């Protein structure tokens, strides 16, 4: 039986991926008879998104945000994209602006520029966060090349963008560039899990033990990285792009490990949290179709 899996990353190698890389380096996938291929999106300059690679049969699993699950389930020709684990138990992302700007809260983003990843619900989520803070939601959205979006904030091409605090946030601190952060939950947006491990529900049902073994090995990799942080940081340092080499990997790992949850809890998704985000998406008319959390996420493969 084929025991090979292809995992498409959501970004170039960074701290969000460390548990998977550690699991591969330490042989945890090999021990379960899994041949793992980890696909870096820079190989095609992000021309095909991780979720799309699953739909096209170019990958078996992908890291993506909860929004991708909703988008693929509700598009004109639905695709059965489903999350089987989350990397983090709580959101580590935020909208970021340079602290030297005159933007001190979301409502100040009215009339300012935002570098978007062009995800299906992204722009409307940001606009609603601004409205929740008393603004009009009139932000000026542009779509620069995805893999260069972070640089557009750093070089002042745009006023704001969406970042991970445990990666770009740590990098900005290392470069002594103070940032202001606006976290979704602080402005009444019950944002979903990101990134999640997702695959095709029907394909995964055909070989449940393989995907369960993948998650068991991945969980072992995250737990090993948490317990052996210096070693894990050295492993990741060999894989990250040159422009990220100045990032404080130990600080990034400390922030990440704290969000992985208690020992043994890695990957688990609270279906009530998933439901809250789904309901928020529907209530704010970002999506016309109501779907249940069981349609897009399951803890079955973790159990």
Tally Cβ neighbours within 10 Å of residue 303.
Answer: 8
Question: Each residue of 20-61: pLDDT tens digit?
Answer: 999 999 999 999 999 999 999 988 888 899 999 999 999 999
Residue of 63, 4, 286, 15 whose CA lies nearest to 195: 63
Q: Looking at residue 243, what is its pLDDT? A: 84
Q: Please, what is the average pLDDT of the chain?
A: 96
Helix (H) or strand (E) holding 181: strand 179-182
Q: Residue for token digits 């929740």?
A: 132
Q: How many alpha carbons fall within 13 Å on the CB side of residue 152?
A: 21
**Where do we find the tokens 């470069």?**
175
Give the model confidence (pLDDT) of 127-167 as tens digits: 999 999 999 999 999 999 988 999 999 999 999 999 999 99
Q: Binning pLDDT at 50, 70 and 90, where does residue 263 land?
A: confident
In the block, which residue shows the tokens 């001190």? 104
Q: Which of 177, 182, 194, 170 is nearest to 259 (CA)?
A: 194
Average pLDDT over residues 99-123: 96
How far, in Å, CA of 168 to CA of 79, rounded? 32
Domains parsed from the chain with CATH numbers: 4-89+193-302 (3.40.190.10), 93-187 (3.40.190.10)
More confidently predicted of 270 and 146: 270
Within 75-176, where are the H helices? 122-132, 149-154, 168-174
pLDDT of amino acid 245: 85
User: What CA–CA distances, in Å, run from 213 to 8, 182, 296, 301?
Assistant: 17, 37, 20, 8
Whole-model pTM above 0.75?
yes
Q: What is the CA radius of gyration of the chain?
A: 19
Q: What are phi and psi of 111, to 5 degrees?
A: 80, 0
Upstream peptide bond of 107 is cis (omega within 30 degrees of 0):
no
Q: What is the structure's pLDDT at 1?
A: 56
| Residue 43 confidence (pLDDT) | 86
**Residue 2 pLDDT class (50, 70, 90 cuts):** low
Q: Look at the alpha carbons of 268, 270, 275, 281 in this order and tell me if their dihedral is positive or negative.
A: negative
Other C-beta atoms closer than 10 Å to the C-beta of 209 total: 11
Residues 214-234 pLDDT 10s:
999 999 999 999 999 999 999
pLDDT in tens, 156-213: 999 999 999 999 999 999 999 999 999 999 999 999 999 999 999 999 999 999 999 9
pLDDT tops 60 at residue 236: yes
Position 250 confidence tier, pLDDT thresholds 50, 70, 90: very high
């Amino acid at each position: 039986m084929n025991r090979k899996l292809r995992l498409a990353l959501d970004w170039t190698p960074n701290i969000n991926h460390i548990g998977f890389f550690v699991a591969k380096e330490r042989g945890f996938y090999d021990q379960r008879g899994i041949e793992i291929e980890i696909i870096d999106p820079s190989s095609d300059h992000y021309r095909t998104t991780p979720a799309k690679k699953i739909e096209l049969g170019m990958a078996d699993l992908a890291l993506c945000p909860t929004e991708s699950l909703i988008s693929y389930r509700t598009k004109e020709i639905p695709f059965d994209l489903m999350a089987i684990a989350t990397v983090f138990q709580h959101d580590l992302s935020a909208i970021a602006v340079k602290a030297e700007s005159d933007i001190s809260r979301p409502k100040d983003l009215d009339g300012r520029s935002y570098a978007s990843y062009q995800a299906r619900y992204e722009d409307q989520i940001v606009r609603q966060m601004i409205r929740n803070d008393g603004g009009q939601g009139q932000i000026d959205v542009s779509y620069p090349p995805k893999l260069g979006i972070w640089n557009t904030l750093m070089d002042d091409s745009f006023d704001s963008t969406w970042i991970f605090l445990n990666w770009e946030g740590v990098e900005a601190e290392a470069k002594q560039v103070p940032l202001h952060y606006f976290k979704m939950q602080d402005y009444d947006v019950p944002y979903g899990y990101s990134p999640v491990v997702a695959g095709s529900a029907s394909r995964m049902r055909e070989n449940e033990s393989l995907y369960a073994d993948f998650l068991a090995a991945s969980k072992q990799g995250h737990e090993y990285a948490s317990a052996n942080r210096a070693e894990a940081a050295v492993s990741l340092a060999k894989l990250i792009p040159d422009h990220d080499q100045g990032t404080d990997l130990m600080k990034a790992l400390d922030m990440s490990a704290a969000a992985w949850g208690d020992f043994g809890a890695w990957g688990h998704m609270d279906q009530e949290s998933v439901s809250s985000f789904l309901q928020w998406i529907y209530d704010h008319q970002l999506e016309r179709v109501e779907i249940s959390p069981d349609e897009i996420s399951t803890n079955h493969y973790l159990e």
